[in-house]
């Protein structure tokens, strides 16, 4: 498959180990390896390639800007960085108007934490159990899964994890509504914390398994935060820019955040992240509270401008909503034929498929999911199986430009791979 290990650190993880194909070309929702093999992509490189590979508008913008001015640090403004702040103020929810550019989602979260402390004068943070916010120090401190925390402590001493709406054994019994799930926050605020700067959450869990929040959950969370003078940070690194069938994931919940973090799809393949805040919050930031040498550079922000053009011109959110419904119908057909296919959930093209033991409904061993990855690669599909905190979730996040034919081809491969899995489990 043209795989080369090179001189990477041993910690570099490959999609299917040393056999992972070396990618050399990509267009739309299809990539090609060094041996000329084509793959439909249900992965989109951790949901970053929402616009598809090598979108001509993004490629053109990067090329033109590189020839004109390839770099400027934050010390000097540039036309692309200024224009991108203006465009983001237009598309972001509510009163989010001021942007700070960095290089990744994790770094955008770090800026949000810094800004929240400066704006409120408080130092504590609330995050959800099961959440994922990145692997830098502050961001990893917010992660609500022990597997990504073990061996890296001590973490920020002022982070408290709130039981999430996906908690299997919710304190006090299983709530009936999203608003009732949110009420646990009142208990946390009364008994466990005292000086909270912000509550941060993904509008829909991504890394945990593409899990949407129930209706009413975030509306009540925001009400409680407002009552206690706590900022609400929406982490839209995965859910932003059309992934869920609406411009931003939080749009599904009729909530306006005080701060929002973005990355991935924003750059159309270029490394860029942004922390966006209301003027009232942003005005608290002082010079050098944060600095990123490459943050907001003209090439990355030019790519961001082009990606926003594509997002609007091609109605990627609308396509995600329509394609997502089409995909869910096909996945439910597979579910009816394979007893090891458990819950199927999602919004837009952020879809999770759980694999379970048919006998007792427990998570299927991760080894079976990793076999699915290899089977799918061999048949021309990049299938992100073996994900979620239990290692039994297929997280389907294809480029938002994917068409019905590519979806059909991908699901047909899943069908073949499920037949192989059924034989292994027999």
Predicted confidence (pLDDT) per residue in 134-168, tens digit: 999 999 999 999 999 999 889 999 999 999 999 98
Residue 6 is predicted with a pLDDT of 63
Which residues have C-beta within 8 Å of that of residue 191, sequence separation ≥ 6? none
Which residues have C-beta within 8 Å of that of residue 358, sequence separation ≥ 6? 339, 340, 425
241 with 329, same domain? no
| Mean pLDDT in residue range 174-196 | 96
| Mean pLDDT in residue range 62-71 | 98
Is residue 1 predicted with pLDDT exceeding 50? Answer: no
pLDDT category, 8, cuts 50, 70, 90? confident
What is the secondary structure of 366-425 as a DSSP string?
HHHHHHHHHHHHHTTEE---SBSTTS-EEEE---TT--HHHHHHHHHHHHHHHHHHHHHH
Tokens matching residue 366: 């991760």
273 with 369, same domain? no
Round to whole Å and give the CA distance between 42 and 234.
Answer: 25
286 with 366, same domain? no
Predicted confidence (pLDDT) per residue in 91-125, tens digit: 999 999 999 999 999 999 999 999 999 999 999 99
Residue 13 is predicted with a pLDDT of 81
**Of 2-6, 19-23, 334-338, which gets the smallest average pLDDT?**
2-6
Residue 60 is predicted with a pLDDT of 98
Does residue 4 sit within a domain?
no
Does residue 2 sit within a domain?
no
241 with 388, same domain? no
96 with 190, same domain? yes
Is residue 77 predicted with pLDDT exceeding 60? Answer: yes
Q: Which of 256, 283, 313 is the last residue of a domain?
A: 313
Question: What are the backbone dihedrals phi and psi of residue 337, each rounded to the nearest 5 degrees, phi first?
Answer: -110, -15
Predicted confidence (pLDDT) per residue in 299-353, tens digit: 999 999 999 999 999 999 999 999 999 999 999 999 999 999 999 999 999 999 9
216 with 255, same domain? yes
Does residue 270 sit within a domain?
yes
What CATH number has the domain bearing residue 335? 3.90.1150.10
Domain, as residue range, for 416: 315-425
Q: Which of 253, 288, 313 is the last residue of a domain?
A: 313
Round to whole Å and give the CA distance between 112 and 117.
Answer: 9
Residue 169 is predicted with a pLDDT of 87
Dihedral of alpha carbons 8, 11, 17, 18, sign: positive
Residue 2 is predicted with a pLDDT of 47
When the pLDDT of each residue in the chain is averaged and rounded to a whole number, the result is 96
| Mean pLDDT in residue range 201-206 | 98
91 with 125, same domain? yes
Q: Which of 264, 281, 313 is the last residue of a domain?
A: 313
Does residue 39 sit within a domain?
no
Sheet with 23-27, strands from edge to edge, namely: 23-27, 30-33, 38-41, 381-382
| Mean pLDDT in residue range 197-208 | 98
Is residue 5 predicted with pLDDT exceeding 70? Answer: no
Does residue 294 sit within a domain?
yes
Rounded to the nearest 5 percent, the helix, strand and coil shares of the chain are: 40, 20, 45
Predicted confidence (pLDDT) per residue in 239-267, tens digit: 999 999 999 999 999 999 999 999 999 99
Does residue 35 sit within a domain?
no
349 with 237, same domain? no
| Mean pLDDT in residue range 66-82 | 96
Which residue, among 165, 168, 147, 169, has the nearest Cα to 201 in the 3D structure?
165
73 with 191, same domain? yes
Residue 3 is predicted with a pLDDT of 47
Q: Which residue has the tokens 């709530």?
A: 175
361 with 288, same domain? no
273 with 344, same domain? no
Does residue 7 sit within a domain?
no
Does residue 37 sit within a domain?
no
What CATH number has the domain bearing residue 75? 3.40.640.10
Residue 90 is predicted with a pLDDT of 97
**Integer angstrom CA distances of residue 391 from 33, 56, 310, 353, 367:** 26, 36, 34, 11, 9
Round to whole Å and give the CA distance between 86 and 225.
Answer: 28
CA-CA-CA-CA torsion for 396, 400, 406, 408, nearest 10 degrees?
60
400 with 281, same domain? no
Question: Burial, 36: exposed, middle or buried (Cβ in 10 Å; 0-12, 13-18, 19+)?
Answer: exposed
Is residue 277 predicted with pLDDT exceeding 60? Answer: yes
- Total of domains in the chain: 2
């Amino acid at each position: 498959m043209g795989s080369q290990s090179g001189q990477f650190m041993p910690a570099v993880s490959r999609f299917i180990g040393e056999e992972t194909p070396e990618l050399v070309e990509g267009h739309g929702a299809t990539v090609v390896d060094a041996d000329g093999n084509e793959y439909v992509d249900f992965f989109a490189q951790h949901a970053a390639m929402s616009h598809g590979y090598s979108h001509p508008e993004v490629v053109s913008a990067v090329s033109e800007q590189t020839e004109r001015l390839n770099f400027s640090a934050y010390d000097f403004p540039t036309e692309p960085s200024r224009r991108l702040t203006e465009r983001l103020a237009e598309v972001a929810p509510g009163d989010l108007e001021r942007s700070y550019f960095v290089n990744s989602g994790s770094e955008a979260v770090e800026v949000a934490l810094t800004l929240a402390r400066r704006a409120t004068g408080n130092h504590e943070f609330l995050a959800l159990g099961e959440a994922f916010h990145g692997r830098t120090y502050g961001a990893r401190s917010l992660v609500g899964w022990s597997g990504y925390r073990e061996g890296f402590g001590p973490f920020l001493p002022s982070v408290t994890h709130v039981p999430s709406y996906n908690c299997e054994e919710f304190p006090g019994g299983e709530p009936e509504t999203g608003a009732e799930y949110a009420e646990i926050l009142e208990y946390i605020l009364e008994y466990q914390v005292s000086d909270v700067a912000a509550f941060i959450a993904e509008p829909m869990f991504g890394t945990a398994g593409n899990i949407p929040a129930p209706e009413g959950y975030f509306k009540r969370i925001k009400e409680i935060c407002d009552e206690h003078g706590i900022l609400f940070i929406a982490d839209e690194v995965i859910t932003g820019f059309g992934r869920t069938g609406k411009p931003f994931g939080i749009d599904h919940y009729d909530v306006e955040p005080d701060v929002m973090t973005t990355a991935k799809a924003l750059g159309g393949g270029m490394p860029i992240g942004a922390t966006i805040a209301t003027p009232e919050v942003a005005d608290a930031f002082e010079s050098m509270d944060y600095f990123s040498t490459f943050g907001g550079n003209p090439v990355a922000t030019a790519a961001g401008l082009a990606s926003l053009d594509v997002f609007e011109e091609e109605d990627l959110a609308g396509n995600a909503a329509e394609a997502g419904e089409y995909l869910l119908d096909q996945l439910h057909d597979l579910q009816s034929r394979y007893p090891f296919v458990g819950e199927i959930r999602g919004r837009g093209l952020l879809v999770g498929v759980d694999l379970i033991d048919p006998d007792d409904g427990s998570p299927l061993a991760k080894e079976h999911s990793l076999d699915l990855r290899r089977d799918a690669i061999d048949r021309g599909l990049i299938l992100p199986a073996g994900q979620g905190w239990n290692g039994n979730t297929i997280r389907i996040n294809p480029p938002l430009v994917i068409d019905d034919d590519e979806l059909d081809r991908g699901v047909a491969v899943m069908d073949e791979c499920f037949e192989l899995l059924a034989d292994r489990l027999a």
